[in-house]
């Protein structure tokens, strides 16, 4: 992974929920992919659970299912990363399979942004 982009301007976030927007993102991602000859492109989404666990909530699973409805038919995996105070969890969904990985990080090594 080379970078993490901020939420699009039409996203709505609070410490309790996040609604993903899409404004400007198709053009940004097309430009990155074009400038890198297709080597770098969209790989997935991330958000924080500032006061929660590093696992998928019911809202997260609804987002997974929505994203998978677009990516599964073209054979691409869905990746969601959740950052919480006690660690990071990374989930990859592809076809019939889900793979998850969790890591522990200290606050010294990883500063979790608030409210995104």
Min dist CB 9 to Zn ion, Å, is 21
Is residue 83 classed exposed, middle or buried when 0-12, 13-18 and 19+ CB atoms within 10 A define those classes? buried
Q: What is the nearest approach in angstroms of Zn ion to the Cβ of residue 30?
A: 27
d(CA 82, CA 14): 15
7 binds Zn ion (CB under 5 A): no
Binding mask 30-59 toward Zn ion (x if CB under 5 A, else -) reads ---------------------------x--
Q: Which residue is nearest to Zn ion (CB)?
A: 60
Task: Scan residues 56-95 and list those touching Zn ion (CB under 5 A).
Answer: 57, 60
Judged by the rule CB under 5 A, the positions of this chain that interact with Zn ion are: 57, 60
């Amino acid at each position: 992974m080379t970078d993490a982009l901020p939420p699009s301007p039409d996203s709505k976030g609070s410490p309790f929920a996040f609604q993903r927007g899409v404004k400007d993102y198709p053009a940004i991602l097309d430009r990155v992919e074009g400038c890198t000859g297709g080597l770098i492109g969209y790989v997935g989404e991330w958000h924080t659970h500032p006061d929660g666990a590093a696992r998928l909530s019911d809202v997260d699973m609804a987002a997974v299912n929505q994203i998978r409805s677009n990516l599964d038919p073209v054979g691409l995996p869905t990746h969601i990363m959740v950052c919480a105070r006690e660690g990071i969890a990374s989930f990859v969904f592809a076809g019939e399979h889900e793979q998850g990985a969790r890591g522990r990080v200290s606050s010294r090594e990883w500063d979790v942004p608030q409210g995104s």
